Structure 1
Amino acid sequence: MSNLLTSRQAEELHKSIVAYLNSTGHTKSAQQIRDELNVPESSFDAATAKKYEGLLEKKWTSVVRLQKKIMDLEHKASQLQHELDSATPTSLAARKNHDPTTWLPRAPARHTLQSHRQPITCVAFHPLFSSLASGSEDCTIKIWDYELGELERTLKSHTKAVLDVDFGGPRGNTLLASCSSDLTIKLWDPAEEYKNVRTLPGHDHSVSSVRFIPSGAAGAPLSGNLLASASRDKTIRVWDVTTGYCLRTLRGHGEWVRSLSATFDGRWLLSTSSDQTSRMWDLSQPDSNAQKQTFMAHEHVVECCAFAPPAAYPHLATLAGLKKPPAASSSAEYLATGGRDKLIKIFSTNGICTKTLTGHDNWIRSMVFHPGGKYLLSCSDDKTIRCWDVAQEGKCVRVIEAADHFVSCLRWAPSIFKEAVPDTGGGLANGTLTNGAKKEESVKEQIRCLVACGSVDLNVRVFSA
């Protein structure tokens, strides 16, 4: 008898083998084994046979399941070890105290939202409410409550795939913009139960990206009313959302314009294209003089782009070899682009590529800078989200297995800006604090630890602290 099993375990194993052979129709073999193992008829009636016939299969499958679990846990342990190896004292402290400036998403997602019937192409957070919009190739836009993880409503009006969504609009009146392969842009009003309030026709081919252009200086005539759109017709259009008029058409790209990113002050616009370039436009200039810089470093379609927030300037300036970072009031000093060549390029706005980040195994689909400025997040067709630490020369410090298929889009929830409380001793007069600081500088940024991604596996995932 085996030294590993007790006599009781051996007896159970023998009965299981006999019962299994009987149940599968191998009665001769079962009888032979019974004779050899001396399993008497009296101890093996019908009830006993029934009890033991599924046992062998059950044990067999549970072993395989446990082996898989062990492998998954080993993989997770190695990931955590990698995080620990590349952690800095600040990031470890942040994890302990949930410091929003250094918080990063981690698997598993807080919510996995399911309802779309085709791959998800885009996601966007409402700037104030706990709403998340997602667009899909199923021609619909779905509005979710990301705190409850529930579907609120489905918007149907586009006749082809929805390619992008974005929240923004005039002051005090947030709108949702969507664009589609049906050549149109649609505006939806959350205040009127997401009624489709306007449709903007004008592009001659699929509209691949829409972005609201943030408000310029207070009192600017079109403050917050502008929307930019990029299309396969090789143009970028700028619209006034209150009238629905196309105000300008920017031409320069030689191929499909894929994505857009605007600076926080609304002056600069960045575009990427299938022509393997990214271009920067100065919206304060007339159309003929708007194109300010062309970035050429990718060897394939450039899928996505992002302007770096001023909080990232100190880290990116070091990366670029500068001793002193640019002024935080400047809105367009550094940017990142990602493409089908599986590379992320970080540029200074003078057109020089200061860093190339490698690690993704497939097309890079979307990117976002951490509002705290220390990290850049990217998602890819390799099913992962990667977190790059720009303070550590762009080192990849976290890989999140984010989906079961291509990860097509990624968004960070916009920060909430709260005005600092003025001192009651009359210190706040004419928009200036007593210490001479301007009122604008007293506005405090509250970073939301909230990230969403969409995938070809039909799921929207929400990661939160």
Structure 2
Amino acid sequence: MAQILTSRQAEELHRALIAYLTANNLTSTAAALRAELNLGEDVFDPNTAKKYEGLLEKKWTSVVRLQKKIMDLESRNATMQAELDNATPTSRQNKDPVSWLPRSPARHTLQSHREPITCVAFHPIFSSLASGSEDQTIKIWDWELGELERTLKGHTKAVLDIDFGGPRGNTLLASCSSDLTIKLWDPSEEYKNIRTLPGHDHSVSAVRFIPSGAAGSSGNLLVSASRDKTLRIWDVSTGYCVKTLRGHAEWVRDVCPSIDGRYILSTSDDYTSRLWDVSIPNPEAKVTLIGHEHVVLCCTIAPPAAYQHLATMAGIRKPPLTSTAEFMATGSRDKTIRLWDARGTCIKTLVGHDNWVRGLVFHPGGKYLISVADDKTMRCWDLTQEGKCVKTIADAHGHFVQCIRWAPSVVKAGPAVNGVDGQNGEMNGTPKKISALAPGAEAQIRCVIATGSVDLNVRIFAN
């Protein structure tokens, strides 16, 4: 057998062994070892032996302690490597917007609201962000600089939702409230309150502009969801309610239009979600999504970029291209997220949050779904890995996270087609929707996410 220890190390070990045996009254064994090693009293006297007492125990405990330390370090290393592999498999991914995921800490923490934040919305062109709160105000921020620009007052109860959009050549901000009204604010007129839409019989919980394309609309339609169990479609240029959608049995919590404005997805306290076809004169629920075991709080419609991954999860070989609402996601108080196809089949249930799921947004690149919840976390689900949770930002906020939005993509220049100017990205003065890009035009993903929380903070996660 090859000698591992040097002669000096071996000699020290032998002496430590003899000292250990002697100290433990194993005198005959100590004497036998002395004899075999030719270590007589003249060479290894009692005084010298005292120096080696306890040495073997010290070395032994040191080894055990170091072993534990090594195991702890290996475990931490494995965890960090797994996070690195899942979140950013290559250094290139940090620069690739399609694979970008938010990370802690946030770039900015915006503070000014005096009550919990309920909603956030990005201006489609400028670096403005609006936030709504239970303090009855809306605040406009410059999210790039992290500065407050102005405070809008007008609602007499909690502001529950906000959205940017509106008719051609006029990007408006819509807000809705527990005061039963919807208000329209014009950024081009110092955010003046230009119209108030009354009509709902209870709190208005969600509001979204419907992209142009539905029933020949020119982007002047707005949809609202209310505790009065209805959805209403408004013409913002006249202020009239043009359609009322009835079908939910309880409070309608959230609403999301498809990118072409043809479909609307809604969620409710009746544990269901409904997909409505609003392109027909009398809109009806095309499909009802049944499966959640509690109130459904939030919803979103998947972008076409996600179809290939969701089709694989649904067991379909070729992603369908027939509809702008082929796949959807809903989040509930049952702590789960469900992914659905257009037939109303639940293709996957994502489990991971420890509390109510409050907000959902698909990554514009199509690979991920991002969620926030009352467990104070933001989670990233990889649709290329069967919806596996690949990243958790545990300290997203210090309290319940109530809302999340992804900044709209910027349209890069393309050739002018049918009155579409590729340079300024406008069609008759209207910012182009990504769904109706001119050939040659390209949507550039902005890696910016905003979240709002009961901790009174708005946070900006940006690349």
Aligned pair 1:86/2:79, yes or no?
no
Q: 1:399 to 1:202 in 2, by over 3 A?
A: same
The 1:185/1:322 distance shift into structure 2, 3 A limit, reads same
**Equivalent position of 2:148 in the other structure:** 151
Q: What is the match of residue 258 of structure 1? A: 253
CA offsets, 1:186-237, max 9 Å, x none?
Answer: 00000000000000000000000000001117xx753100000000000000
| Alpha-carbon contact 2:87-2:101 (below 8 Å) kept | no
Partner amino acid for 2:257? A
The two structures have a TM-score, normalised by structure 1, of 0.77
> % of aligned pairs identical?
68
Show the counterpart of 1:111.
Answer: 108
The reply to whether residue 224 of structure 1 matches residue 223 of structure 2 is no
The answer to whether the aligner puts 1:464 opposite 2:462 as a matched pair is: yes
Q: CA 1:415 to 1:174, structure 2 compared with 1: closer, same or farther past 3 Å?
A: same
Q: 2:354 pairs with 345, 358, 361, which one?
A: 361
**Post-superposition offset of 1:418:** 3.0
Indicate how the Cα distance of structure 1 residues 78 and 191 shifts in structure 2: closer, same or farther if over 3 A, else same: farther
What aligned pairs does 1:8-157 form with structure 2 within 5 A after superposition? 80-87=80-87, 89=89, 92-95=91-94, 98-157=95-154
Contact 1:310 1:330 survives alignment (8 Å)? no
Q: Where do residues 284-299 of structure 1 align in structure 2 (5 Å cutoff)?
A: 284-287=279-282, 289-299=283-293
1:132 Cα deviation after fit: 0.2
**Counterpart Cα distance in 2 of 1:202 and 1:74:** 62
Task: Give the alignment partner of residue 301 of structure 2, picking from 281, 294, 307.
Answer: 307
Contact 2:379 2:389 in 1 (8 A): yes
Q: Distance in 1 between matches of 2:154 and 2:76?
A: 43
Distance 1:439 1:451, change over 3 A: closer
Offset at 1:326?
1.1
Match of 2:414 in 1: 420
The 1-side partners of 2:440 and 2:241 are apart by: 36
**Separation of aligned partners in 2, 1:224 and 1:151:** 29
1:275 lines up with 2:275 in the alignment: no
- The answer to whether 1:323 aligns with 2:317 is yes
CA-based RMSD: 2.2
Matches of 2:447 and 2:437 in 1, distance apart?
Answer: 26
Secondary structure at the aligned position of 1:118 is classed as coil
Tell me which amino acid in the other structure corresponds to 1:142. Answer: K
Q: 1:83 Cα deviation (Å)? A: 1.1
Q: Which amino acid aligns with 1:368?
A: V
Check whether the contact 1:100–1:448 (CA below 8 A) recurs between aligned residues.
yes
Q: What's the CA shift for 1:81?
A: 3.5
SS in 2 for 1:442: coil
CA shift in 2, pair 1:323/1:449, >3 Å:
same
SS in 2 for 1:330: coil
Q: Distance in 2 between matches of 1:74 and 1:157?
A: 57
Report the AA paired with residue 450 of structure 1: V
Secondary structure in 2 matching 1:317: helix
Partner residue of 1:57? none
The answer for the alignment partner of 1:453 in structure 2 is 451
SS in 1 for 2:238: coil
Q: Is 2:387 the counterpart of 1:394?
A: yes
Query: Could you tell me how far 1:322 is from its partner in structure 2?
Result: 0.8
Equivalent residue of 1:440, what SS? coil
Are the counterparts in 1 of residues 181 and 198 from structure 2 also a CA contact under 8 Å? yes
> Is the contact made by 2:412 and 2:443 (CA closer than 8 Å) also made in structure 1?
yes
Whether the 8 Å contact between 1:313 and 1:373 is mirrored in structure 2 is yes
Runs (4 or more) in structure 1 with deviation over 2 Å come to 73-82, 84-89, 428-431, 438-443
Partner residue in 1 for 2:433: none
The amino acid across from 1:302 in the alignment is V
TM-score by length of 2: 0.78
In the TM superposition, what whole-angstrom CA distance separates every residue of 1:350-378 from its partner, at most 9, and x where no partner exists? 01100010000000000000000000000
Q: What residue number does 2:340 align with?
A: 347
Determine if the alignment matches structure 1 residue 211 to structure 2 residue 204: no
Aligned to 1:409: 403
Unaligned runs of 5+ in 1: 1-72, 423-427, 432-437
User: Measured at CA, do residues 338 and 79 of structure 1 come closer, stay the same or move farther in structure 2, by a change above 3 Å?
Assistant: farther
2:180 matched to which residue of 1? Answer: 183
Deviation at residue 131 of structure 1 after TM alignment: 0.3
Deviations 1:284-306 (A, max 9, x none): 1233x521000001000000000
Amino acid at match of 1:290: E
CA contact (8 A) 1:284 1:290 kept: no
Report what 1:442 is aligned to.
440
Using the alignment, how far apart are the partners of 1:414 and 1:210 within structure 2?
17
Contact 1:166 1:176 in 2 (8 A): yes
Q: Would the alpha carbon gap of residues 310 and 221 (structure 1) be closer, same or farther in structure 2, given more than 3 Å must change?
A: closer
Q: How far has the Cα of 1:80 moved from its partner? A: 3.6
**For 1:79 and 1:411, how far apart are their aligned partners in 2?**
29
Listed as ranges, the gaps of 5+ residues in structure 2 are 1-72, 421-435
The alignment partner of 1:280 has SS state of strand
Aligned-partner residue type, residue 387 of structure 1? C
